[in-house]
Amino acid sequence: MDVESVITEQEYNSIRQVSYKDFTVYIMRLVKLCVEESLKTLPVVIDHLSRQAAYLKELSDAFYTDNKDLANHKRLVASIIEQIEIANPGMKYGEILEKAAPEARKRIDLLSKIKDEPRKPIKEYDIKLKEL
């Protein structure tokens, strides 16, 4: 954006003598130019975001093609991916997926073992006795 298109040097030098109405003209010109410049960048931003979304979708599809056993556990996998991303900022998404698969399998195995074990009812007095 060209500063001269918002306010010229001559206009700047005379700004102390400018009325409020004239000053608002400068401000409106600035706002208009800012909006125009922002709108000009939108196609580039949208293109970048759509390419990124397509790339991530491609990685995700490949991940579930290679790890068919995890396809029924997408929520768990998503949670693990998020945890890995938080713990490793800057790590490439492909590397994150490589770490996520074995971790997801560990957790699925653990959950299946927990579900298979019968639970014993805990009585309130049993807890109190153990505390003594």
State which residues form the domain around 17.
Answer: 1-63
Residue 128 lies in a domain: no
Mean pLDDT of the chain: 84
* Residue 81 in tokens: 């991916």
Residue where the block lists tokens 């109190």:
128
* Whole-angstrom distance, CA of residue 54 vs CA of residue 131: 57
Residue 14's pLDDT band (boundaries 50, 70, 90)?
confident
One domain for residues 56 and 101? no
For residue 3, pLDDT over 70 is answered with: no
pLDDT in tens, 63-108: 999 999 999 999 999 999 999 999 999 999 889 999 999 999 999 9
**Which amino acid, one-letter code, is at 79?**
S
- Sequential DSSP letters for 95-123: HHHHHHHHHHHHHHHHHHHHHHSPPPPPP
One domain for residues 20 and 49? yes
